[in-house]
Amino acid sequence: MATWPRLAAALWAALTSALLAATHSPAARAEDGYELWLRYHPLESAAAAVYRAAAGELVVQGDTPSLAAARDELARGLEGLLGGEVPLSEGVTRDGAIVVGTPASSPIVRGLALDLGALGPEGYMLASREIGGRAATVVAANTGVGALYGAFHFLRLIQTQASIDDLAITSAPRVRLRLLNHWDNLDGYVERGYAGASIWDWRMLPDYRDPRYTDYARAAASVGINGVSLTNVNADATVLTPEYLDRVAALADVLRPYGVRVYLTARFSAPVEIGGLATADPLDPQVRAWWAEKAEEIYARAPDFGGFLVKANSEGQPGPQDYGRSHAEGANMLADALAPHGGVVMWRAFVYASDNPDDRHKQAYDELAPLDGEFRDNVLIQVKNGPIDFQPREPFHPLFGAMPETPLMLEVQITKEYLGFATHLAYLGPLWEEALDADTHARGEGSTVGRVIDGSLHGYAITGMAGVSNVGADRNWTGSHFDQANWYAFARLAWDHELDAEAIAEEWARMTFSNEDALVAPVVAMMMRSREAVVDYMTPLGLHHLMATGHHYGPGPWVDDLGRPDWNPTYYHRADADGLGFDRTAAGSGALAQYAPELQEMWGDPETVPESLLLWFHHVPWDHEMESGRTLWEELVHAYSRGVATVAGMRETWASLEGYVDPERFAQVAAFLAIQEREARWWRDACLAYFQTFAQRPFPEGYEPPAQTLEHYMAIEHPYAPGETRPQ
Ligand code: GCW
């Protein structure tokens, strides 16, 4: 018979084990997203036991800062995942040793005589080996940073519960410069930022180095980011003053062990603004000397400084054309200043002139393609994925394939300026994959954008890919939990553009939420549909730039009164009584002529162009018959409605996953999906109400008409929507 004390003890035991289970079960613990995909929460016990056998001790030989970072990350990750400390050892003393190092740092690695030649300075090898009769896993590379990347890969295998037996993995980046571009102003405001203020606290630097910078560096290194441009391309010359360069140097120090170099945006007029010169003419000897000296000052503080990112003669930014000089003359002047120190210039191709009435689609190509071959060896031209501006869907930028003598980088936007800010769930892996896989036909079939930017098509000596960052000071870094996936996917594709967006989504979901298939499969399916849903409810069938003015939040297809024609949505959709879309064939703006003949032929005919780009290249009658048999008007209604339905389906999917995700993250995603569904309806209804005034056709049967009148939608204003361009 149970006595009271025994009963009480039994009750107490039951209670504490229930409490323990609650705190240990990953689904039950409240999480704010700060840990990103590096959560390292305990695996369930059976899985942990398997990995524990293969992770008996950690042998990191060498003590460079990057090797120390690799050791610390492995120690932290393994302890978290396996639920106990993994001992550090000087040598292999038992089965399950994890040996990390480079041939230079580690006698063990040297002794294995691994073939690391093809891995370059950043690649790595994960290999199962016997060492002194013991089973070991070797994480080897030519540099400490390579070993750090390998350590993160090894942890990822365990985080995603992949096998770590018989490992024979080698990996090296296809693209050399893999950057995040922050559009952060020095006052902490982030242009097109939806995750709070800038993480760079310039006021506290250089004295206080927020530990968050180290976590940022860890996250960056975990996915192979090796550069960060700290400041907005709408640049402020102040960052080039000595006081700020000291702060830049402090950030460079924090990021260095993780293989991340800092870059700055160079305001072209800096010699005038902070240098006291009368001109910033790139051919003026004093200007050239000023920049050369500026470069000296920077490299004295940060010897591995990466270089300058420049937006010039675009949207009001100063540039060489202010002095009658070309983009090449401007870029080369900065390149000459950086060359002695090994720095590069990333010169942006996002240029369009206020006095040029031509189709904006054509302007970057017309200005830059003729300059091919005129740039210094340390200049890259950084080209957005599409010719207009980070729309939910664009054809690839026609410069890709058109500058064989000039290294072209790809720039994509991770922050979702045009895809619903942080509240809409839109996984951008498929968008970037579409851009990277697009065939330019520059050297015959298979001349993809990916092969242009990785240098294999034209033999570029330097290669790069940049993503406009979505990181801010929000606890979850990116403003929403699912936007972390976009940071992650960008970096994974920059490392290897042949990776599959769906596989990347799966990796991310396993690390970020849970390894349970019941969660992973629906989450990945939802992510994979999400970008197309945004295309559908915002700009289907090749429509583009229908967003409201300035902040770009919500629909504004009716806007027609802005200073420049090409700032107006009406310029892009050209709706009239006959039809819809922008004729870019020879009969229209002629932009199609910037593409290869094969594409001109296919895209030039409304019958053969993919319907996803139909209205990008053609002005199409409202009754044009689509593949589905519907008319254009009916198809438009169908696509907008499908977008809303997809989001409603995403909401249902998420609702069914309660219990697989901790309550805090679950609730935020659920609330954001509700906002997304409401805004998707708003987009659909507003755009269809507007286009109907031209189409003059009824809503097809089975489709709800807009909930409100067009006047209602046109009267909506959002004066404080985040992220707008702000003068500095
Ligand atoms: O997409 C536009 C944005 C601007 C941005 C510009 C650019 C930094 O609306 O905010 O300015 O592109 O890429 O330079």
Write the pLDDT tens digit of every residue in 534-557: 999 999 999 999 999 999 999 999
Question: Distance (Å, rounded) from C-alpha 459 to C-alpha 498?
Answer: 18
Q: Is 234 in the pocket of ligand 1 (CB under 6 A)?
A: yes
Helices (H), 101-255: 107-112, 144-159, 211-222, 242-255
State residue 725's pLDDT score: 94
pLDDT at residue 26 is higher than 70: no
pLDDT at residue 13 is higher than 60: no
Ligand 1 center–CA 260 separation, angstroms? 24
Question: Distance (Å, rounded) from C-alpha 519 to C-alpha 665?
Answer: 14
State residue 7's pLDDT score: 40
**pLDDT tens for residues 149-183?**
999 999 999 999 999 999 999 999 999 999 999 99
What atom of ligand 1 comes closest to residue 183's alpha carbon? 8
Say which residue, 6 or 622, is predicted with more confidence. Answer: 622
What atom of ligand 1 comes closest to residue 389's alpha carbon? 1
Q: Is 411 in the pocket of ligand 1 (CB under 6 A)?
A: no
> Does 417 participate in catalysis according to the annotation?
yes
**pLDDT tens for residues 689-711?**
999 999 999 999 999 999 999 99
Q: Which helix (H) or strand (E) holds 377?
A: none
Strand 177-181 relative to strand 464-468: parallel, antiparallel, unpaired?
A: parallel
Ligand 1 center–CA 267 separation, angstroms? 15
pLDDT at residue 9 is higher than 90: no
Q: Is 311 in the pocket of ligand 1 (CB under 6 A)?
A: yes
What atom of ligand 1 comes closest to residue 311's alpha carbon? 14
Question: Distance (Å, rounded) from C-alpha 451 to C-alpha 286?
Answer: 40
CA geometry: angle at 466 spanning 461 and 468, to 5°? 165
Give the type of residue at 686: A
Say what the pTM is. 0.95
Q: What DSSP designation does 566 have?
A: G
What atom of ligand 1 comes closest to residue 317's alpha carbon? 14
Q: What DSSP designation does 345 have?
A: E
Residue 49, token pair as written in the block: 């036991």
Residue 322 CA to its chain's centroid (Å): 32
- pLDDT band at 355; cut points 50, 70, 90: confident
User: What is the DSSP track for 510-554?
Assistant: HHHT-S-HHHHHHHHHHHHHHHHHHHHHHSGGG----BPTTT--S
Q: Are 450 and 496 in contact (CB under 8 A)?
A: no
Q: Are 414 and 179 in contact (CB under 8 A)?
A: no
Q: Which residue in 315, 374, 502, 611 is the catalytic one?
A: 315
Q: Which residue in 417, 662, 677, 679 is the catalytic one?
A: 417
Ligand 1 center–CA 551 separation, angstroms? 11
Share the mean pLDDT of the chain.
95
Residue 97 CA to its chain's centroid (Å): 35
- pLDDT band at 564; cut points 50, 70, 90: confident
Ligand 1 center–CA 256 separation, angstroms? 29
Ligand 1 center–CA 233 separation, angstroms? 8
Name the percent of the chain lying above pLDDT 70: 96
Compute the residue count for the chain. 728
Q: Is 662 in the pocket of ligand 1 (CB under 6 A)?
A: no
> Which residue's alpha carbon is at the smallest distance from atom 11 of ligand 1?
234
Question: Distance (Å, rounded) from C-alpha 53 to C-alpha 153?
Answer: 19
Give the type of residue at 708: Q
Q: Is 191 in the pocket of ligand 1 (CB under 6 A)?
A: yes
Q: Is 388 in the pocket of ligand 1 (CB under 6 A)?
A: no
Q: Is 192 in the pocket of ligand 1 (CB under 6 A)?
A: yes
How crowded is residue 166: how many other Cβ atoms within 10 Å of its Cβ?
7
**Pocket test residue of 181, 182, 192 for ligand 1, highest count of atoms within 8 A of CB:** 192
- pLDDT band at 728; cut points 50, 70, 90: confident
Question: Distance (Å, rounded) from C-alpha 45 to C-alpha 402?
Answer: 55
Which regions of 182-281 does DSSP assign to beta strands (E)?
Answer: 227-229, 261-265
- Residue 381 pairs in a beta bridge with 347, 408
> What is the average pLDDT across 114-128?
98
> What is the average pLDDT across 234-252?
98
Q: Which residue in 389, 483, 507, 566 is the catalytic one?
A: 389
pLDDT at residue 21 is higher than 50: no
> Does 336 participate in catalysis according to the annotation?
no
Q: Are 645 and 14 in contact (CB under 8 A)?
A: no
**Which residues in 174-194 are b (16+ Cβ under 10 Å) and which e?**
bbbbbbbbbbbbbebbbbbbb
User: What is the DSSP track for 458-504?
Assistant: TT-SS-EEEEE----SSTTSSSSTTHHHHHHHHHHHHH-TTS-HHHH
> What is the average pLDDT across 451-460?
98
pLDDT at residue 335 is higher than 50: yes
**Comparing 198-212, 245-259, 558-572, which segment has the lowest mean pLDDT?**
558-572
Residue 305, token pair as written in the block: 């400084």
Q: Are 202 and 244 in contact (CB under 8 A)?
A: yes
How crowded is residue 667: how many other Cβ atoms within 10 Å of its Cβ?
13
Q: Is 381 helix (H, G, I), strand (E, B) or coil?
A: strand
Q: Is 433 in the pocket of ligand 1 (CB under 6 A)?
A: no
Question: Distance (Å, rounded) from C-alpha 682 to C-alpha 467?
Answer: 29
Q: Is 537 in the pocket of ligand 1 (CB under 6 A)?
A: no
pLDDT at residue 23 is higher than 90: no
**pLDDT tens for residues 390-442?**
999 999 999 999 999 999 999 999 999 999 999 999 999 999 999 999 999 99
Contacts of 87 (CB under 8 A, 6+ apart): 56, 57, 58
**pLDDT tens for residues 580-608?**
999 999 999 999 999 999 999 999 999 99
Residue 540 CA to its chain's centroid (Å): 23
Cα–Cα distances in Å, from 128 out to 109, 116, 150? 12, 15, 13
> Does 607 participate in catalysis according to the annotation?
no
State residue 462's pLDDT score: 98
**Which residues in 354-390 are b (16+ Cβ under 10 Å) and which e?**
eeeeebbbbbbbbbbbebbebbbebbbbbbbbbbbbb
User: What is the DSSP track for 34-50?
Assistant: TTTT---PPPPHHHHHH
Ligand 1 center–CA 418 separation, angstroms? 11
State residue 20's pLDDT score: 39
State residue 29's pLDDT score: 60
State residue 8's pLDDT score: 43
Q: Is 350 in the pocket of ligand 1 (CB under 6 A)?
A: yes
Pick the closest to residue 552 from 354, 340, 389 (CA basis).
389
> What is the average pLDDT across 478-503?
99
Strand 168-171 relative to strand 124-131: parallel, antiparallel, unpaired?
A: antiparallel
> What is the average pLDDT across 490-511?
98
Say which residue, 97 or 567, is predicted with more confidence. Answer: 97
How crowded is residue 435: how many other Cβ atoms within 10 Å of its Cβ?
26
Pick the closest to residue 369 from 324, 344, 406, 411 (CA basis).
406
Q: Is 672 in the pocket of ligand 1 (CB under 6 A)?
A: no
State residue 709's pLDDT score: 98
**pLDDT tens for residues 283-304?**
999 999 999 999 999 999 999 9
- pLDDT band at 326; cut points 50, 70, 90: very high
Contacts of 680 (CB under 8 A, 6+ apart): 424, 533, 537, 643, 644, 647
Q: What is the dihedral of CA 272, 276, 278, 280, to 10 degrees?
A: -30
**Which residues in 695-726 are b (16+ Cβ under 10 Å) and which e?**
beeeeeeeeeebeeebeebbeeeeeeebbeee
Ligand 1 center–CA 269 separation, angstroms? 19
> Which residue's alpha carbon is at the smallest distance from atom 1 of ligand 1?
389
What atom of ligand 1 comes closest to residue 724's alpha carbon? 10
> Which residue's alpha carbon is at the smallest distance from atom 13 of ligand 1?
350
State residue 17's pLDDT score: 40
Pick the closest to residue 563 from 543, 577, 549, 551 (CA basis).
549
Question: What burial class does residue 632 get, using C-beta atoms within 10 Å of its C-beta: 0-12 exposed, 13-18 middle, 19+ buried?
Answer: buried
> Which residue's alpha carbon is at the smallest distance from atom 2 of ligand 1?
389
pLDDT at residue 147 is higher than 90: yes
Ligand 1 center–CA 390 separation, angstroms? 9
Contacts of 403 (CB under 8 A, 6+ apart): 368, 369, 372, 381
Ligand 1 center–CA 728 separation, angstroms? 14
What atom of ligand 1 comes closest to residue 552's alpha carbon? 9
Q: Is 233 in the pocket of ligand 1 (CB under 6 A)?
A: yes
Name the percent of the chain lying above pLDDT 90: 94
Cα–Cα distances in Å, from 685 out to 417, 555, 662, 699, 704? 21, 10, 35, 11, 9
Q: Is 394 in the pocket of ligand 1 (CB under 6 A)?
A: no
Helices (H) and strands (E) in the chain, counts: 22, 15
**Pocket test residue of 310, 348, 382, 417 for ligand 1, highest count of atoms within 8 A of CB:** 417
